[in-house]
Chains A and B, each alone.
Chain A
Amino acid sequence: MSTVTAHVENFPEQPLQTVSRIRALWITIRRKPLGAASAALIATLVLTAIFADVLAPYDPLSAQPEIRLARPSQAHPFGTDDIGRDVLSRVIHGARISLWVGLLAVGIGTVAGMIIGLVCGYWEGRLDLMLQRLMDAIQAIPGLILALAIVSILQPSTTNAMLAIAVVIIPGNSRIVRGAVMSAKQNRYVEAAQAIGCRHPRIIATHILPNVTAPILIIASIWLGNAILIEASLSFLGLGTQPPDPSWGLMLSSTGRAYMEQAPWLAIFPGLAISLAVLGFNLFGDTLRDAWDPKLRNR
């Protein structure tokens, strides 16, 4: 028995898997132009968010009423808003808010969904039945309405919008992880690990989890785009980021709509920024799927 355990313990499946996944992703990015474009878009977004203070030519909050609603020019490439704030600087700082909300909301939603999915898929039984009905019940409530209700309880703010988005993400993620866990559980090596008396946490960590990371990461990358859209929608409705912080959705709803005919740049640039960010994450999700789903590899 101890020999079998040693073999199971020494089987180097995880490092090999990790290396091959990164390699598969790298090959897909190099082969598919849309994959490279998505990676470039995401890298630009991340760098813009990190270096917003350096990249933004002006303070995103400082108003100069004497140049209000100025057209795009060399000094202000994206123009200025109704109180003379530089739109380019606000769009650059908006990247930080969108990315922050997206990463944290998806992070919380994914981890919570993963824990619920692992518990349900691995142990099944009554707990699974109860938790899945709870997930069904949450999913039966429209996502934006649920997020709106949660934000109304917690008071509108960027952090609370993020928490609300995380709650919306949990049921879908838990279901995907549950399915992947139930499928991974059928593998012989899991049965073998159970037969030799490995403890459940160890089986989950070493044999089940590596099999569910691919679907989790694919879904998480697609959810990142959706989270940015939901944050923008909540801010658009006045229940996300509050003024004067430069959220893309808020910029669209406040000045963008009000001055659309006089100053279309107020709506065009934040909208483009949202679209490019979401586009980047959607395409990257596709690239991950192409790289990690063997059925799609040669398509």
Chain B
Amino acid sequence: MHKYVIRRLLLAVPVLLLSSLIVFGLMRVMPGDALIALMGEGGNVGAKELAKLRNDLGLDRPYHEQYAIWVWQMVTFSPGHSIFTNEPIGVSLKKAIPVTLELAALAMILGLVIAIPVGVVSATRQDTAPDYVGRIVAVSGLSFPDFWLATLVITFAAIWFHWIPPIGYASFWESPWQNLQQFLLPAAVLGFRLSAATMRMTRSTVLEVLREDYVRTAWAKGLAGRIVVYKHALKNALIPVVTIVGGQLGTLLAGTVIVETIFALPGMGRLTVEAILYRDYPVVQTNVMLVAATLVTINLVVDLTYAWLDPRIRYR
């Protein structure tokens, strides 16, 4: 087990290095740079001042040097400053990460609370009305674009209930009520979308497991239906579900750009997209690497969860 974890962590190093090269390369071939965006904000800047600025920011160095400096900054956890706002990137992340974490946690909880029971009911009552309703809701969840759902939810909440989510982000510790009001709708929209895939997978795997011999044995022993389904079938059906949920968690932690933009939540997604638009290299590079490292870690945790769910699985 330990060897397996160490090997996986070692394998992650070249993947993260390649990701860093891709991101660094993409940012350098993008037309325009942060200084041009800065000049647009600050009016005309002379060529001398521009050269000095470029020198101060290290943008006049050869690419391999810029890359080496950045990798060193990442390794030493000192990602530097934003070119555009001059704010330390660590400070921006401290503001954005809690927003994304809260949104991800709420959406995930809502998604799972809907998906698992509906998926199980759909499987245990295959080809009946509840199954059809569950499947149609699931496929709809996959098909509705989140920006459309978000726009409709905001508008109809305003028209029918004369209520709009409060503007201006407030953290949970500052104002819990305002915070919950801000997160309720975006979490519901994301949770509904997430529940769709999980529901479909739960239905499919529970159906498969319900046909296994040990489940038939459980029925034959006269166990209650709930115990057979939830204790014997569901736990063994969860491996593919955990894989899906792990992938979804990774996507959520990467920041849900559109939902954050529509609901004016200053999370990771919005921070990264704004940085791309302003060509703020250090911010984009740091955010993407943070997300890449998170995804690699989540994949590892998902793989390790398999052994807990199915003790027959051993890691070598």
Q: Which residues of A contact B (CB under 8 A)?
A: 34, 133-134, 136-142, 144-145, 148-150, 152-153, 155, 225, 229, 232-233, 236-237, 249, 252-253, 256-257, 260-261, 264, 267-268, 271, 274-276, 278-279, 282-283, 286, 299
For this complex, 17 residue pairs linking A to B, each with C-beta atoms less than 8 Å apart, are A137-B16, A138-B22, A140-B295, A145-B272, A145-B273, A152-B277, A153-B26, A153-B30, A225-B142, A232-B147, A237-B258, A249-B147, A252-B147, A252-B148, A274-B148, A278-B145, A286-B139
Is the CB–CB distance between A150 and B26 below 8 Å?
yes
Contacts of A149 in B (CB 8 A): 23, 26-27, 30, 276, 284
Contacts of A252 in B (CB 8 A): 145, 147-148, 151
Contacts of B291 in A (CB 8 A): 140-142, 145
Q: Taking the nearest CB of chain A, how far is it from the CB of B137, in angstroms?
A: 12
B291: nearest chain-A partner, CB-CB: A142
- How far is it, in angstroms, between the C-alpha of A133 and the C-alpha of B26 when the chains are bound? 18
Q: Taking the nearest CB of chain B, how far is it from the CB of A178, in angstroms?
A: 16
Q: Taking the nearest CB of chain A, how far is it from the CB of B259, in angstroms?
A: 11
- How far is it, in angstroms, between the C-alpha of A58 and the C-alpha of B67 when the chains are bound? 54
Q: Taking the nearest CB of chain A, how far is it from the CB of B192, in angstroms?
A: 13
Is the CB–CB distance between A267 and B159 below 8 Å?
no
The interface centre, meaning the residue of A138, A252, A271 with most chain B CB atoms within 10 A of its CB, is A271
Q: Mark B26-44, 1 if CB is under 8 A from A, else 0.
A: 1101110000000000000
Is the CB–CB distance between B276 and A275 below 8 Å?
no
Contacts of A155 in B (CB 8 A): 31
- How far is it, in angstroms, between the C-alpha of A155 and the C-alpha of B251 when the chains are bound? 25
Question: Residue B296 at the A interface, CB < 8 A?
Answer: yes
Q: A133-B15, A139-B295, A141-B291 are in contact. List 16 more A-B contacts (CB 8 A).
A: A140-B291, A141-B22, A144-B257, A145-B273, A145-B291, A153-B26, A153-B31, A232-B145, A236-B145, A237-B273, A261-B155, A271-B145, A275-B145, A278-B143, A279-B143, A282-B142
B279: nearest chain-A partner, CB-CB: A152
- How far is it, in angstroms, between the C-alpha of A286 and the C-alpha of B292 when the chains are bound? 30
B211: nearest chain-A partner, CB-CB: A299
A225: nearest chain-B partner, CB-CB: B143
Is the CB–CB distance between B139 and A140 below 8 Å?
no
Q: Mark B258-301, 1 if CB is under 8 A from A, else 0.
A: 10011000000000110011000000100010011001100000
Is the CB–CB distance between A141 and B143 below 8 Å?
no
Determine which of A34, A133, A236, A257 lies in contact with B18 in the assembled complex, contact meaning CB atoms within 8 Å: A133
Q: Taking the nearest CB of chain B, how far is it from the CB of A54, in angstroms?
A: 27
State the 3 A-B residue pairs at the shortest beta-carbon distance, nearest first: A137-B18, A271-B148, A140-B292
Known: A142-B251, A145-B273, A275-B145. A267 touches B152 (CB 8 A): yes
Q: Main secondary structure on chain B at its contact with chain A?
A: helix
Known: A233-B147, A236-B147, A267-B151. A141 touches B288 (CB 8 A): yes
- How far is it, in angstroms, between the C-alpha of A253 and the C-alpha of B145 when the chains are bound? 12
Contacts of B145 in A (CB 8 A): 229, 232-233, 236, 249, 252, 271, 274-275, 278
Determine which of B139, B155, B251, B254 lies in contact with A283 in the assembled complex, contact meaning CB atoms within 8 Å: B139
Question: Residue B222 at the A interface, CB < 8 A?
Answer: no
Determine which of B135, B144, B262 lies in contact with A275 in the assembled complex, contact meaning CB atoms within 8 Å: B144
Contacts of A144 in B (CB 8 A): 257
- How far is it, in angstroms, between the C-alpha of A134 and the C-alpha of B25 when the chains are bound? 14
Contacts of B155 in A (CB 8 A): 260-261, 264, 267
Question: Residue B305 at the A interface, CB < 8 A?
Answer: no
B196: nearest chain-A partner, CB-CB: A282
Is the CB–CB distance between B257 and A267 below 8 Å?
no
Is the CB–CB distance between B143 and A271 below 8 Å?
no
- How far is it, in angstroms, between the C-alpha of A34 and the C-alpha of B132 when the chains are bound? 10
Is the CB–CB distance between B22 and A137 below 8 Å?
yes
Question: Residue B140 at the A interface, CB < 8 A?
Answer: yes
Q: Taking the nearest CB of chain A, how far is it from the CB of B210, in angstroms?
A: 11
Is the CB–CB distance between A299 and B207 below 8 Å?
yes
A278: nearest chain-B partner, CB-CB: B143
A38: nearest chain-B partner, CB-CB: B139
Q: Taking the nearest CB of chain B, how far is it from the CB of A61, in angstroms?
A: 23
A267: nearest chain-B partner, CB-CB: B151
Determine which of B151, B159, B251, B254 lies in contact with A257 in the assembled complex, contact meaning CB atoms within 8 Å: B151
Contacts of B154 in A (CB 8 A): 260
